[in-house]
Amino acid sequence: MKKLLFIYNPHAGKGQIRAKLADVLDIFTKAGWLVTVRPTQGKADATYTAAWLGGEFDRLVCCGGDGTLHEVVTGLMEVSHRPELGYIPAGTTNDYSRNLKLPKGYEAMAAAAAEGVPRPVDIGRFNDRYFVYVAAFGAFTDVAYDTPQQVKNMFGHLAYVLEGISRLGNLKGYQARVEYDGGVLEEEFIFGMVSNTVSVGGMLGLPADSVALDDGLLEVVLVRTPRNPMELQGAITALMKQTTDEAAGVMGFHASRLKITCAEETPWTLDGEYGGAPQVAEIQACRHAVTIVYGA
């Protein structure tokens, strides 16, 4: 019998998974899986569990927000024989799930995780760490990890929007040299993002038709520090429309590898979690590093 490890965050998404747990496990069992269950016990527990046990299972399914998915993938990168990975999103924004064509509702998502289509996908390496779908610095990137869980549960995605708006008057520029696949940019940026997803924060990123999760390329968006309020408004409009606008200082391109050197130590976020504050960030695509289960 095939073995499945189910890791879930009992606090994500208002804790709704606890009421659905029996139904989810029943769906896995009826699909022919022998199931082992692990509720996470705190920060990094999903990473520890995936690294410790992941190699013993045919499939690992995680339930939680993008932070839980990030922890699980980080753990799996330590495993030589990586199981297929299913995802039941239960967080506030659930950016990565937008790539996977998952159905709505816990029971339907559990069925997709148990019987969906496994496909290889790329993930990113950030210095000696990993990210599933985004590494970013600059404006608003600390909102996800600085917003308390209670506020996320109460207001959902609106919590991020409200917190982001409150920062508009305190935008900071970062002088940086960006080297990528034969190109070089030297500018002051208020925002930089390296991603492998059609959605970040529900709206940011390159157009979905230009994103492939398995092509060995990462999508890069850089926003030059605005020289006036009109340029700032143009940059915000371009980001919300998921397009580039050179006149407003929004640049976008694909790259397999980057080196971003800032004039000072710069805080980064990796999949919505604090990723440290290096002065130099070396980023590359790890092609087909994990196999993730899609819906229909």
Q: How are beta strands 273-274 and 280-294 bridged, if at all?
A: unpaired
Q: Which of 78, 231, 273, 282 is an active site residue?
A: 273
Buried b (16+ CB within 10 A) or exposed e, 263-294: eeebbbbbbbbebeebeebebbbeeebbebbb
DSSP β-bridge partners for residue 89: 64
Phi, psi of 164 (to 5 degrees): -65, -45
The contacts of residue 128 (CB under 8 Å, 6+ apart) are none
Is the distance from CB of 223 to CB of 239 less than 8 angstroms? yes
Q: Is 45 helix (H, G, I), strand (E, B) or coil?
A: helix
Neighbours of 14 (CB within 10 A): 14
Max distance between CA atoms of the chain, in angstroms, equals: 63
- 219: annotated active-site residue: no
φ, ψ of residue 5 to 5 degrees: the values are -105, 125
What angle is formed at CA 45 by the lines to CA 152 and CA 136, rounded to 5 degrees? 55
Scanning the structure block, which residue is given the tokens 């030059």? 224
Closest CA to 93 of 276, 286, 273: 273
Beta strand pairing status for 2-8 and 59-64?
Answer: parallel
Question: How far, in whole angstroms, is CA 103 from its chain's centroid?
Answer: 19
* Token duo for residue 66: 């993008």
Give the residue numbers annotated as catalytic, written as ranges: 273
